[in-house]
Protein backbone atom coordinates (compact mmCIF):
# COMPACT_ATOMS: atom_id res chain seq x y z
CA UNK A 1 0.00 0.00 0.00
CA UNK A 2 1.16 3.61 -0.36
CA UNK A 3 3.41 4.57 2.51
CA UNK A 4 1.39 7.79 2.84
CA UNK A 5 -2.23 8.70 3.39
CA UNK A 6 -4.07 11.90 2.52
CA UNK A 7 -6.16 13.46 5.28
CA UNK A 8 -8.45 16.48 5.06
CA UNK A 9 -10.27 17.84 8.10
CA UNK A 10 -11.96 21.08 8.94
CA UNK A 11 -15.11 23.05 9.60
CA UNK A 12 -17.30 25.05 7.22
CA UNK A 13 -20.58 26.92 6.94
CA UNK A 14 -22.48 23.63 6.57
CA UNK A 15 -21.20 22.01 9.76
CA UNK A 16 -20.36 24.91 12.04
CA UNK A 17 -22.20 28.10 13.08
CA UNK A 18 -20.48 31.42 12.53
CA UNK A 19 -19.85 31.99 16.25
CA UNK A 20 -17.66 28.86 16.29
CA UNK A 21 -15.95 29.64 12.96
CA UNK A 22 -15.02 33.06 14.31
CA UNK A 23 -13.13 31.45 17.19
CA UNK A 24 -10.84 29.40 14.97
CA UNK A 25 -10.45 31.70 11.94
CA UNK A 26 -6.85 32.71 11.23
CA UNK A 27 -7.15 36.46 11.55
CA UNK A 28 -3.36 36.76 11.89
CA UNK A 29 -2.54 35.12 8.56
CA UNK A 30 -0.87 31.85 7.60
CA UNK A 31 2.75 32.21 8.70
CA UNK A 32 2.34 31.52 12.42
CA UNK A 33 0.00 28.49 12.19
CA UNK A 34 2.05 26.90 9.40
CA UNK A 35 5.17 27.26 11.54
CA UNK A 36 3.35 25.71 14.52
CA UNK A 37 2.29 22.68 12.46
CA UNK A 38 5.95 21.73 11.95
CA UNK A 39 5.95 20.53 15.56
CA UNK A 40 3.21 17.92 14.93
CA UNK A 41 4.78 14.47 14.62
CA UNK A 42 3.80 12.31 11.65
CA UNK A 43 3.15 15.08 9.10
CA UNK A 44 5.07 14.80 5.85
CA UNK A 45 3.28 17.61 3.98
CA UNK A 46 0.56 20.04 5.00
CA UNK A 47 -1.55 22.92 3.76
CA UNK A 48 -4.00 25.21 5.52
CA UNK A 49 -6.97 27.17 4.15
CA UNK A 50 -8.89 29.79 6.13
CA UNK A 51 -11.79 31.86 4.77
CA UNK A 52 -14.89 33.40 6.32
CA UNK A 53 -16.78 30.19 5.58
CA UNK A 54 -14.24 27.45 6.27
CA UNK A 55 -11.00 26.42 7.93
CA UNK A 56 -9.49 23.26 6.43
CA UNK A 57 -6.23 21.36 6.82
CA UNK A 58 -4.99 19.12 4.01
CA UNK A 59 -2.26 16.72 5.14
CA UNK A 60 -0.03 13.95 3.91
CA UNK A 61 0.87 11.67 6.81
CA UNK A 62 2.69 8.41 7.31
CA UNK A 63 0.35 5.52 6.51
CA UNK A 64 0.41 4.10 10.04
CA UNK A 65 0.53 7.41 11.93
CA UNK A 66 -2.26 8.64 14.18
CA UNK A 67 -2.10 12.40 13.95
CA UNK A 68 -5.83 13.05 14.12
CA UNK A 69 -6.05 13.94 17.81
CA UNK A 70 -3.11 16.35 17.59
CA UNK A 71 -4.55 18.00 14.48
CA UNK A 72 -8.00 18.45 16.04
CA UNK A 73 -6.38 20.05 19.10
CA UNK A 74 -4.41 22.34 16.79
CA UNK A 75 -7.49 23.32 14.78
CA UNK A 76 -9.69 24.23 17.75
CA UNK A 77 -6.81 25.40 19.94
CA UNK A 78 -8.75 24.97 23.18
CA UNK A 79 -11.23 27.63 22.09
CA UNK A 80 -14.03 25.06 21.88
CA UNK A 81 -14.60 22.40 24.57
CA UNK A 82 -13.00 19.15 23.39
CA UNK A 83 -16.20 17.12 23.76
CA UNK A 84 -18.02 19.55 21.44
CA UNK A 85 -15.44 19.48 18.61
CA UNK A 86 -16.63 16.29 16.85
CA UNK A 87 -20.08 17.74 16.12
CA UNK A 88 -18.53 20.52 14.02
CA UNK A 89 -15.75 18.57 12.35
CA UNK A 90 -15.48 16.56 9.15
CA UNK A 91 -12.51 14.22 8.59
CA UNK A 92 -11.89 12.66 5.16
CA UNK A 93 -9.25 10.26 3.87
CA UNK A 94 -7.63 9.60 0.50
CA UNK A 95 -10.30 9.49 -2.26
CA UNK A 96 -12.92 11.31 -0.15
CA UNK A 97 -10.37 13.99 0.80
CA UNK A 98 -9.41 14.50 -2.85
CA UNK A 99 -13.06 14.68 -3.90
CA UNK A 100 -13.84 17.28 -1.24
CA UNK A 101 -10.86 19.43 -2.25
CA UNK A 102 -11.96 19.35 -5.90
CA UNK A 103 -15.54 20.24 -4.89
CA UNK A 104 -14.24 23.22 -2.91
CA UNK A 105 -12.00 24.41 -5.75
CA UNK A 106 -14.87 24.10 -8.24
CA UNK A 107 -17.11 26.17 -5.91
CA UNK A 108 -19.56 23.29 -5.53
CA UNK A 109 -19.13 23.28 -1.75
CA UNK A 110 -19.46 27.05 -1.36
CA UNK A 111 -22.26 28.86 0.41
CA UNK A 112 -23.05 30.22 -3.04
CA UNK A 113 -22.48 27.52 -5.66
CA UNK A 114 -20.50 28.89 -8.58
CA UNK A 115 -18.87 31.87 -6.84
CA UNK A 116 -15.41 32.61 -8.17
CA UNK A 117 -13.62 33.87 -5.06
CA UNK A 118 -12.76 30.51 -3.49
CA UNK A 119 -10.26 29.51 -6.18
CA UNK A 120 -8.21 32.64 -5.53
CA UNK A 121 -8.28 31.88 -1.80
CA UNK A 122 -7.05 28.33 -2.44
CA UNK A 123 -4.17 29.60 -4.57
CA UNK A 124 -3.19 32.21 -1.97
CA UNK A 125 -3.14 29.59 0.79
CA UNK A 126 -1.04 27.31 -1.41
CA UNK A 127 1.49 30.08 -2.10
CA UNK A 128 2.06 30.47 1.64
CA UNK A 129 2.36 26.72 2.26
CA UNK A 130 4.80 26.28 -0.64
CA UNK A 131 6.83 29.35 0.38
CA UNK A 132 7.37 27.99 3.89
CA UNK A 133 8.27 24.53 2.59
CA UNK A 134 5.17 22.81 3.97
CA UNK A 135 4.10 21.08 0.76
CA UNK A 136 5.94 18.36 -1.13
CA UNK A 137 5.53 16.24 -4.27
CA UNK A 138 2.13 14.80 -3.38
CA UNK A 139 0.37 17.97 -2.21
CA UNK A 140 1.95 20.01 -4.98
CA UNK A 141 0.46 17.64 -7.54
CA UNK A 142 -2.88 17.43 -5.74
CA UNK A 143 -3.34 21.19 -5.31
CA UNK A 144 -2.31 21.99 -8.86
CA UNK A 145 -4.78 19.35 -10.01
CA UNK A 146 -7.52 21.07 -7.96
CA UNK A 147 -6.81 24.31 -9.81
CA UNK A 148 -7.07 22.59 -13.18
CA UNK A 149 -10.31 20.86 -12.12
CA UNK A 150 -11.79 24.25 -11.22
CA UNK A 151 -10.70 25.65 -14.58
CA UNK A 152 -12.25 22.70 -16.39
CA UNK A 153 -15.55 23.19 -14.54
CA UNK A 154 -15.58 26.89 -15.46
CA UNK A 155 -14.74 26.11 -19.08
CA UNK A 156 -17.15 23.22 -19.65
CA UNK A 157 -20.14 24.43 -17.60
CA UNK A 158 -22.00 27.68 -16.94
CA UNK A 159 -21.91 27.14 -13.18
CA UNK A 160 -21.05 30.77 -12.46
CA UNK A 161 -23.35 32.47 -14.93
CA UNK A 162 -26.74 32.55 -13.21
CA UNK A 163 -27.88 34.28 -10.02
CA UNK A 164 -29.31 31.65 -7.67
CA UNK A 165 -29.25 33.48 -4.37
CA UNK A 166 -30.85 36.73 -3.29
CA UNK A 167 -27.42 38.20 -2.53
CA UNK A 168 -25.97 37.20 -5.88
CA UNK A 169 -29.00 38.54 -7.73
CA UNK A 170 -28.49 41.84 -5.92
CA UNK A 171 -24.93 42.06 -7.17
CA UNK A 172 -26.02 41.23 -10.72
CA UNK A 173 -28.48 44.12 -10.60
CA UNK A 174 -25.73 46.41 -9.35
CA UNK A 175 -23.61 45.45 -12.35
CA UNK A 176 -26.48 46.31 -14.68
CA UNK A 177 -26.79 49.77 -13.15
CA UNK A 178 -23.10 50.63 -12.80
CA UNK A 179 -21.44 48.33 -15.31
CA UNK A 180 -17.93 47.78 -13.92
CA UNK A 181 -17.97 47.59 -10.09
CA UNK A 182 -14.21 47.94 -9.61
CA UNK A 183 -14.31 51.57 -8.50
CA UNK A 184 -17.53 51.33 -6.51
CA UNK A 185 -17.75 51.53 -2.73
CA UNK A 186 -20.18 49.30 -0.86
CA UNK A 187 -21.94 49.69 2.47
CA UNK A 188 -23.36 46.56 4.13
CA UNK A 189 -25.99 47.38 6.72
CA UNK A 190 -26.24 44.38 9.04
CA UNK A 191 -23.61 41.67 9.46
CA UNK A 192 -25.62 38.46 9.18
CA UNK A 193 -25.43 35.66 6.65
CA UNK A 194 -27.13 37.66 3.88
CA UNK A 195 -24.62 40.48 4.24
CA UNK A 196 -21.76 37.98 4.27
CA UNK A 197 -22.99 36.38 1.05
CA UNK A 198 -23.39 39.76 -0.62
CA UNK A 199 -19.88 40.77 0.43
CA UNK A 200 -18.43 37.58 -1.06
CA UNK A 201 -20.04 38.30 -4.41
CA UNK A 202 -19.07 41.96 -4.41
CA UNK A 203 -15.44 41.28 -3.53
CA UNK A 204 -15.42 38.60 -6.23
CA UNK A 205 -16.48 41.30 -8.68
CA UNK A 206 -13.65 43.60 -7.58
CA UNK A 207 -15.47 46.41 -5.74
CA UNK A 208 -13.32 49.28 -4.51
CA UNK A 209 -14.09 48.97 -0.80
CA UNK A 210 -16.47 47.38 1.70
CA UNK A 211 -17.82 49.12 4.80
CA UNK A 212 -19.95 47.28 7.37
CA UNK A 213 -22.44 48.97 9.67
CA UNK A 214 -24.00 46.90 12.43
CA UNK A 215 -25.62 47.42 15.82
CA UNK A 216 -23.00 45.10 17.33
CA UNK A 217 -19.74 46.77 16.35
CA UNK A 218 -17.62 43.69 17.16
CA UNK A 219 -19.54 41.63 14.60
CA UNK A 220 -19.14 44.42 12.03
CA UNK A 221 -15.38 44.44 12.67
CA UNK A 222 -15.14 40.65 12.20
CA UNK A 223 -17.04 40.69 8.90
CA UNK A 224 -15.19 43.74 7.58
CA UNK A 225 -11.86 42.09 8.40
CA UNK A 226 -12.73 39.12 6.19
CA UNK A 227 -12.97 41.44 3.19
CA UNK A 228 -10.21 43.91 4.11
CA UNK A 229 -12.88 46.55 4.74
CA UNK A 230 -13.79 48.80 7.65
CA UNK A 231 -16.52 48.82 10.28
CA UNK A 232 -18.72 51.72 11.42
CA UNK A 233 -21.41 52.17 14.02
CA UNK A 234 -25.04 52.12 12.96
CA UNK A 235 -25.33 55.76 14.05
CA UNK A 236 -22.96 56.67 11.18
CA UNK A 237 -25.25 55.19 8.54
CA UNK A 238 -26.55 58.43 7.01
CA UNK A 239 -23.11 60.07 7.00
CA UNK A 240 -21.65 57.07 5.15
CA UNK A 241 -24.14 57.44 2.29
CA UNK A 242 -22.17 60.37 0.93
CA UNK A 243 -19.14 58.15 0.28
CA UNK A 244 -20.61 54.90 -1.08
CA UNK A 245 -22.40 53.80 -4.25
CA UNK A 246 -24.13 50.54 -3.29
CA UNK A 247 -25.99 49.86 -0.05
CA UNK A 248 -27.18 46.37 0.85
CA UNK A 249 -29.35 46.26 3.94
CA UNK A 250 -30.23 43.06 5.80
CA UNK A 251 -30.80 43.87 9.46
CA UNK A 252 -33.28 42.30 11.83
CA UNK A 253 -34.92 45.66 12.61
CA UNK A 254 -38.69 45.72 13.00
CA UNK A 255 -39.08 49.24 11.57
CA UNK A 256 -37.69 51.33 8.70
CA UNK A 257 -34.10 52.36 9.47
CA UNK A 258 -33.58 54.82 6.59
CA UNK A 259 -36.20 57.29 5.34
CA UNK A 260 -36.68 59.25 2.13
CA UNK A 261 -35.90 62.66 3.68
CA UNK A 262 -32.57 61.44 5.07
CA UNK A 263 -31.45 60.19 1.68
CA UNK A 264 -32.75 63.30 -0.10
CA UNK A 265 -30.39 65.53 1.89
CA UNK A 266 -27.48 63.22 1.13
CA UNK A 267 -28.16 63.30 -2.62
CA UNK A 268 -27.59 67.05 -2.65
CA UNK A 269 -24.19 66.53 -1.06
CA UNK A 270 -23.46 63.76 -3.58
CA UNK A 271 -24.23 66.06 -6.51
CA UNK A 272 -26.89 63.51 -7.54
CA UNK A 273 -24.41 60.72 -8.26
CA UNK A 274 -26.41 57.44 -8.54
CA UNK A 275 -27.12 55.56 -5.33
CA UNK A 276 -28.22 51.94 -5.49
CA UNK A 277 -30.13 50.41 -2.55
CA UNK A 278 -30.87 46.72 -2.12
CA UNK A 279 -33.23 45.84 0.71
CA UNK A 280 -33.07 42.10 1.43
CA UNK A 281 -34.49 42.38 4.95
CA UNK A 282 -37.87 41.03 6.03
CA UNK A 283 -39.50 43.19 7.29
CA UNK A 284 -38.03 45.86 5.03
CA UNK A 285 -35.26 48.17 6.28
CA UNK A 286 -35.61 50.93 3.70
CA UNK A 287 -38.36 53.41 2.94
CA UNK A 288 -40.10 52.32 -0.32
CA UNK A 289 -40.44 56.04 -1.22
CA UNK A 290 -36.70 56.17 -1.94
CA UNK A 291 -37.61 55.24 -5.52
CA UNK A 292 -39.24 58.66 -5.87
CA UNK A 293 -35.82 60.35 -5.71
CA UNK A 294 -33.84 61.08 -8.86
CA UNK A 295 -30.81 58.80 -9.40
CA UNK A 296 -31.82 56.60 -6.46
CA UNK A 297 -32.58 52.96 -7.28
CA UNK A 298 -34.23 50.70 -4.71
CA UNK A 299 -34.88 46.97 -5.08
CA UNK A 300 -36.46 44.80 -2.41
CA UNK A 301 -36.46 41.05 -1.87
CA UNK A 302 -39.50 40.49 -4.10
CA UNK A 303 -37.72 42.16 -7.02
CA UNK A 304 -34.72 39.91 -6.50
CA UNK A 305 -36.72 36.70 -6.02
CA UNK A 306 -38.01 36.82 -9.56
CA UNK A 307 -34.42 36.91 -10.87
CA UNK A 308 -33.47 33.95 -8.70
CA UNK A 309 -36.36 31.70 -9.73
CA UNK A 310 -35.63 32.14 -13.42
CA UNK A 311 -32.01 31.11 -12.97
CA UNK A 312 -32.18 28.39 -10.31
CA UNK A 313 -33.13 25.49 -12.55
CA UNK A 314 -30.36 26.39 -14.99
CA UNK A 315 -27.73 26.49 -12.22
CA UNK A 316 -28.91 23.10 -10.92
CA UNK A 317 -28.34 21.56 -14.36
CA UNK A 318 -24.84 23.04 -14.51
CA UNK A 319 -24.05 21.80 -10.99
CA UNK A 320 -24.83 18.24 -12.09
CA UNK A 321 -22.37 18.58 -14.98
CA UNK A 322 -19.74 20.12 -12.71
CA UNK A 323 -20.08 17.35 -10.12
CA UNK A 324 -19.64 14.73 -12.84
CA UNK A 325 -16.36 16.43 -13.83
CA UNK A 326 -15.19 16.41 -10.20
CA UNK A 327 -16.07 12.71 -9.87
CA UNK A 328 -14.13 11.91 -13.04
CA UNK A 329 -11.04 13.86 -11.99
CA UNK A 330 -11.14 12.31 -8.51
CA UNK A 331 -11.09 8.85 -10.06
CA UNK A 332 -8.09 9.79 -12.22
CA UNK A 333 -6.15 11.06 -9.23
CA UNK A 334 -7.06 7.99 -7.15
CA UNK A 335 -5.68 5.70 -9.86
CA UNK A 336 -2.46 7.68 -9.93
CA UNK A 337 -2.19 7.63 -6.12
CA UNK A 338 -2.78 3.89 -5.88
CA UNK A 339 -0.21 3.47 -8.64
CA UNK A 340 2.39 4.77 -6.19
CA UNK A 341 2.06 1.41 -4.39
CA UNK A 342 2.12 -0.69 -7.57
CA UNK A 343 5.00 1.05 -9.38
CA UNK A 344 7.84 -0.07 -7.05
CA UNK A 345 6.66 -3.69 -7.32
CA UNK A 346 6.57 -3.46 -11.13
CA UNK A 347 10.09 -2.07 -11.08
CA UNK A 348 11.31 -4.75 -8.66
CA UNK A 349 9.75 -7.51 -10.76
CA UNK A 350 11.37 -6.25 -13.95
CA UNK A 351 14.75 -5.91 -12.26
CA UNK A 352 14.59 -9.42 -10.79
CA UNK A 353 13.63 -10.98 -14.12
CA UNK A 354 16.29 -8.99 -15.99
CA UNK A 355 18.88 -10.08 -13.43
CA UNK A 356 17.95 -13.77 -13.77
CA UNK A 357 17.97 -13.61 -17.57
CA UNK A 358 21.29 -11.78 -17.72
CA UNK A 359 22.92 -14.21 -15.29
CA UNK A 360 21.76 -17.28 -17.26
CA UNK A 361 22.68 -15.68 -20.58
CA UNK A 362 26.19 -14.91 -19.34
CA UNK A 363 26.61 -18.49 -18.06
CA UNK A 364 25.44 -19.95 -21.36
CA UNK A 365 27.64 -17.70 -23.48
CA UNK A 366 30.65 -18.51 -21.29
CA UNK A 367 30.29 -22.14 -22.41
CA UNK A 368 30.09 -21.10 -26.08
CA UNK A 369 33.46 -19.46 -26.84
CA UNK A 370 33.01 -19.69 -30.60
CA UNK A 371 29.71 -17.83 -30.76
CA UNK A 372 29.81 -14.73 -32.97
CA UNK A 373 28.88 -11.22 -31.88
CA UNK A 374 25.84 -11.38 -34.14
CA UNK A 375 24.72 -14.60 -32.47
CA UNK A 376 25.24 -13.04 -29.04
CA UNK A 377 23.02 -10.13 -30.07
CA UNK A 378 20.34 -12.46 -31.40
CA UNK A 379 20.36 -14.54 -28.21
CA UNK A 380 20.09 -11.36 -26.10
CA UNK A 381 17.11 -10.15 -28.12
CA UNK A 382 15.44 -13.55 -27.85
CA UNK A 383 15.69 -13.80 -24.04
CA UNK A 384 14.54 -10.18 -23.71
CA UNK A 385 11.46 -10.98 -25.78
CA UNK A 386 10.77 -14.11 -23.73
CA UNK A 387 11.06 -12.09 -20.52
CA UNK A 388 8.63 -9.50 -21.81
CA UNK A 389 6.08 -12.17 -22.70
CA UNK A 390 6.43 -13.87 -19.30
CA UNK A 391 5.98 -10.54 -17.49
CA UNK A 392 3.06 -9.35 -19.60
CA UNK A 393 0.26 -11.01 -17.62
CA UNK A 394 1.63 -10.21 -14.12
CA UNK A 395 2.15 -6.57 -15.11
CA UNK A 396 -1.33 -6.32 -16.60
CA UNK A 397 -2.69 -7.80 -13.36
CA UNK A 398 -0.91 -5.16 -11.28
CA UNK A 399 -2.06 -2.33 -13.55
CA UNK A 400 -5.62 -3.56 -14.02
CA UNK A 401 -8.71 -1.80 -12.65
CA UNK A 402 -10.47 -5.09 -11.85
CA UNK A 403 -9.41 -4.77 -8.22
CA UNK A 404 -10.00 -1.06 -7.68
CA UNK A 405 -9.49 0.45 -4.26
CA UNK A 406 -6.64 0.73 -1.80
CA UNK A 407 -7.29 -2.63 -0.06
CA UNK A 408 -7.46 -4.56 -3.33
CA UNK A 409 -4.38 -2.77 -4.61
CA UNK A 410 -2.54 -3.94 -1.48
CA UNK A 411 -3.73 -7.49 -2.14
CA UNK A 412 -2.47 -7.42 -5.72
CA UNK A 413 0.95 -6.16 -4.65
CA UNK A 414 1.25 -8.76 -1.87
CA UNK A 415 0.22 -11.59 -4.20
CA UNK A 416 2.75 -10.70 -6.89
CA UNK A 417 5.59 -10.12 -4.41
CA UNK A 418 5.00 -13.49 -2.76
CA UNK A 419 4.55 -15.31 -6.07
CA UNK A 420 7.84 -14.00 -7.49
CA UNK A 421 9.77 -14.00 -4.21
CA UNK A 422 10.31 -10.23 -4.04
CA UNK A 423 11.74 -9.27 -0.69
CA UNK A 424 10.62 -6.22 1.29
CA UNK A 425 12.86 -3.38 0.21
CA UNK A 426 13.17 -4.48 -3.41
CA UNK A 427 12.41 -1.01 -4.83
CA UNK A 428 9.55 -0.66 -2.37
CA UNK A 429 9.12 1.52 0.67
CA UNK A 430 7.77 -0.26 3.74
CA UNK A 431 3.97 -0.13 3.74
Q: Give the residue numbers annotated as catalytic, written as ranges.
A: 52
What is the three-class DSSP state of 427?
coil
**How many angstroms separate the CA atoms of 363 and 360, rounded?**
5
**How many angstroms separate the CA atoms of 36 and 24, rounded?**
15
Closest CA to 266 of 288, 290, 233, 230: 290
Structural contact between residues 311 and 163, judged by C-beta atoms closer than 8 angstroms: yes
**How many angstroms separate the CA atoms of 98 and 329, rounded?**
9
Exposed, middle or buried, 430 (CB in 10 Å: 0-12/13-18/19+)? exposed
C-alpha distance from residue 113 to each of 46, 239, 379, 386 (Å): 26, 35, 64, 56
* CA 47 centroid distance within chain: 11
Sign of CA dihedral 118, 120, 126, 128: negative
Closest CA to 6 of 93, 136, 105, 100: 93
**How many angstroms separate the CA atoms of 122 and 141, rounded?**
14
**How many angstroms separate the CA atoms of 120 and 171, rounded?**
19
Sequence-ordered list of residues with C-beta below 8 angstroms from that of 76, at least 6 positions apart, any chain: 23, 24, 82, 85
What is the three-class DSSP state of 9?
strand
**How many angstroms separate the CA atoms of 348 and 428, rounded?**
8
Sequence-ordered list of residues with C-beta below 8 angstroms from that of 350, at least 6 positions apart, any chain: 391
Amino acid sequence: MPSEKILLLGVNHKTTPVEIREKIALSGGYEEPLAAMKNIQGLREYYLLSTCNRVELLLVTEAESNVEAAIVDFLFGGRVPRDECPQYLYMLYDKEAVHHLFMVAASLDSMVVGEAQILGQLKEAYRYAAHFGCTGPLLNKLLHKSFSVAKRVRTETAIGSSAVSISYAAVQLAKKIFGNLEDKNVLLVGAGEMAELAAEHLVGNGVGSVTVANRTLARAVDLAQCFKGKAVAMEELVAQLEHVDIIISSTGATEIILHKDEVKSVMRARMNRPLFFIDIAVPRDLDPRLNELDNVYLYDIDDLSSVVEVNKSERDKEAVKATRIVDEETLKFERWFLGLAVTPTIQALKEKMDGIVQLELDRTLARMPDVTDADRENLSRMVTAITAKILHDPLMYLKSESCAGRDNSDLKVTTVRELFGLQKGDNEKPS
